[in-house]
Chains A and B, each alone.
Chain A
Amino acid sequence: MISHLVVQSILAAIMIGFVFNLAALHTWIERKQSALMQDRIGANRAWVVLPWKWAAPINWLLMPINRLGLFHPIADAIKMFMKEDYIPPTGNKFLHTIAPCLSLFFGLIGFAAIPFGNTIGIGGRIINLQVANINVALLYIFAVASMGVYGVVLAGFSSNNNYSTLGGLRASSQMLSYEIAIGLTIMGIVMIYGSLNLQELVRAQGQYLFGWIPMWGLIVQPIGFLLFLAAGIAETKRIPYDAPEGESEIIGYFTEYSGMKFGMFFFADYLETIMIACLATTLFMGGWQVPYLMQSGFEFPWGHIINLAPLTVSGLQILAFVLKVLFFCWLFMAVRWTLPRFRYDQLLRLGWHYMFPIALVNVFVTAVIVLWVMR
């Protein structure tokens, strides 16, 4: 029992370490990727250079990090912590303080259900590479994700600022609208693979269509995949769906926040982006599955077999999961720096008039095909 607890704690530490570091790195990715896309250089002035003569080798080692601007996330964190934490005197102090915590908390606990690898055997113990093996993990994740709207609404409400309140209201109606679309798009996946357990879903994606096409969600649910991406970006409240925030023009829900509380909202945003990237990987890109990689090694459909040690196989699978998540992070960032913001009425019309009906039709068509194949 205790050893089980220890193992799960280690898994949780790994997951949280990965997610937190990736979220902090997202500030760097955002700056550098946008710079590359717009023929700029990007932030590169946060240098750490030690002044002593004997530190020359250390300075030499720090040089690439300096040049890439990788110290900027740390500089950001220092700035966030040093800034004044201002609570509007007419606002509700308790709600104002608890809102960013709620946002961060619900952004974070969803990761418990994401499987980042197959089971591995270490020392006679079989470890499932997933923090919590919940059999309704998908429902759990969406429940947690929709709880995240409380942080946003409370932030807007407790600031006692009309603009913030309007931002919070925009956020809540947007997230509720797209929650429905996103719920329907994954119904197709659930029907095809027949499970709500994410580990089972990923295992089911290891099958092959006609013996050689990996049966990933992307292949069997292309429309569902596109809808999931569109609705998923809406869930993260980033451009093109950033009407709740509207950093520069329409004032958003965290106007009255400063210092680390604002940083927590910022962090929660990045966590949600990573969450959607993890979900897109798990549901549509086969999670930790590598094409043609079985438990004993590669078995290509043309008959070639490469035998690998079980730990190597697990390592490859975890690496595949991380790379897929990074790809989706890159894609979301590219979308964010390509498209302009939707007008608010366009946003809701897209959600209710187009995505919702298309997702509904997708569910019906999938149901018919699944029934026809099963018969």
Chain B
Amino acid sequence: MIRTKVIQQPKLSWWEKLYFPEVFRGLALTSKHFFKNLILHFFHSIGLFRRILAAVTIQYPEQKWLLPLRAKTRHRLTQREDGSPRCVACMMCETVCPAKCIYIVAEEHPDPNIEKRPKSFDIDLGKCVFCGFCVEACPEDAIRMDTKIIDTSAYSREAMMLDITELLNPTVGRKA
């Protein structure tokens, strides 16, 4: 026995079936928006009532939407007090990365208290899926995704690679 549920379609009243009155109601609604926004845009162009919005559009490159505090954005490497990278080249992030976009080459650190440091630390943004696992895996709090840079774009695949200098000092609006 199949259980069925009969959905009752709302019955149109005689007035609604005439169709024209309902069309005019719809037209009244859209026209209200049209004339309200037309007048508001006119006032905005002469510098009045800027507080009242006429459109919800954000003009992207000029205006930017406030990102949420925890938004995962482009990576950066945190620094020690002397400006050297905090990273100890433990390869945790490279191992956990599901997209395999992190390439670390380790070398010996001159300070005997620290075992290793990265000779090179590259992230291929063309492969990165912004999952944030590298940030979770890092035992030294050396990599973070809090630069608030979201407009990553380039004209070639090579230009999507971030090297260690770029990761230590993220530049806004970087173009290849």
A, B bound: yes
Question: In chain B, what residue has the closest Cβ to A333?
Answer: B34
User: Do A334 and B31 contact each other (CB < 8 Å), given the known contacts A226-B20, A339-B26?
Assistant: yes
What's the count of A-B pairs with C-beta under 8 Å? 40
Q: Please name all residues of chain B whose beta carbon is closer than 8 Å to the beta carbon of A337 when the two chains form the complex.
A: 30
Contact A334 B30 (CB under 8 A): yes
Q: Please name all residues of chain B whose beta carbon is closer than 8 Å to the beta carbon of A249 when the two chains form the complex.
A: none
Q: Bound state CA distance, A338 and B31, in angstroms?
A: 9
| B42, chain A: closest CB distance, angstroms | 11
> Which of A35, A36, A335 gathers the greatest number of chain B CB atoms within 10 Å?
A36
Tell me if B33 counts as interface (CB < 8 A to partner A): yes
Q: Please name all residues of chain B whose beta carbon is closer than 8 Å to the beta carbon of A33 when the two chains form the complex.
A: 34
Contact A39 B54 (CB under 8 A): yes
Tell me if A312 counts as interface (CB < 8 A to partner B): no
Residue from the list A40, A41, A338 in contact with B30, Cβ < 8 A:
A338
Near B by CB (< 8 A), chain A positions 215-235 give 226
Q: Bound state CA distance, A271 and B37, in angstroms?
A: 28
- The contact size tier of chain A is 10 to 19
| B9, chain A: closest CB distance, angstroms | 14
Contact A334 B55 (CB under 8 A): no
Contact B55 A39 (CB under 8 A): yes
Contact A36 B26 (CB under 8 A): no
Contact A40 B31 (CB under 8 A): no
- The contact size tier of chain B is 10 to 19
The B contact surface, by secondary structure, is helix
| A373, chain B: closest CB distance, angstroms | 27
| A222, chain B: closest CB distance, angstroms | 11
Q: Bound state CA distance, A337 and B33, in angstroms?
A: 12
Contact B23 A41 (CB under 8 A): no
Contact B34 A41 (CB under 8 A): no
> Which of A35, A37, A337 gathers the greatest number of chain B CB atoms within 10 Å?
A37
Contact B55 A41 (CB under 8 A): yes
Q: Mark A226-256, 1 if CB is under 8 A from B, else 0.
A: 1000000000000000000000000000000
Q: Please name all residues of chain B whose beta carbon is closer than 8 Å to the beta carbon of A36 when the two chains form the complex.
A: 33-34, 37-38, 41
Tell me if A38 counts as interface (CB < 8 A to partner B): yes
Q: Mark B6-26, 1 if CB is under 8 A from A, else 0.
A: 000000000000001001001
User: Do A37 and B54 contact each other (CB < 8 Å), given the known contacts A335-B23, A339-B23?
Assistant: no
Tell me if B57 counts as interface (CB < 8 A to partner A): yes
Residue from the list B20, B30, B56 in contact with A37, Cβ < 8 A:
B30
Contact A39 B33 (CB under 8 A): yes
Contact B37 A39 (CB under 8 A): yes
Q: Please name all residues of chain B whose beta carbon is closer than 8 Å to the beta carbon of A67 when the two chains form the complex.
A: 45
Q: Mark A328-340, 1 if CB is under 8 A from B, else 0.
A: 0000001101110
Contact A35 B55 (CB under 8 A): yes
Tell me if B48 counts as interface (CB < 8 A to partner A): no
| B38, chain A: closest CB distance, angstroms | 6
Q: Bound state CA distance, A67 and B55, in angstroms?
A: 15
| B161, chain A: closest CB distance, angstroms | 31
Contact A338 B55 (CB under 8 A): no
Q: Please name all residues of chain A whose beta carbon is closer than 8 Å to the beta carbon of B45 when the two chains form the complex.
A: 67
> Which of B26, B34, B38 gathers the greatest number of chain A CB atoms within 10 Å?
B34
Question: In chain A, what residue has the closest Cβ to B25?
Answer: A338
Q: Please name all residues of chain A whose beta carbon is closer than 8 Å to the beta carbon of B59 when the two chains form the complex.
A: 41
Contact A334 B34 (CB under 8 A): yes
Instruction: Known pairs A40-B57, A335-B23, A338-B23; list 13 more (Cβ under 8 Å).
Output: A33-B34, A35-B55, A36-B38, A37-B34, A37-B37, A39-B33, A39-B37, A39-B54, A39-B55, A39-B56, A41-B57, A226-B20, A338-B27
Which residues of A does B touch, CB under 8 Å? 33, 35-41, 67, 226, 334-335, 337-339
Cβ contacts A to B, 12 pairs, < 8 Å: A33-B34, A36-B33, A36-B34, A39-B54, A41-B59, A67-B45, A334-B30, A335-B27, A338-B23, A338-B26, A339-B23, A339-B26
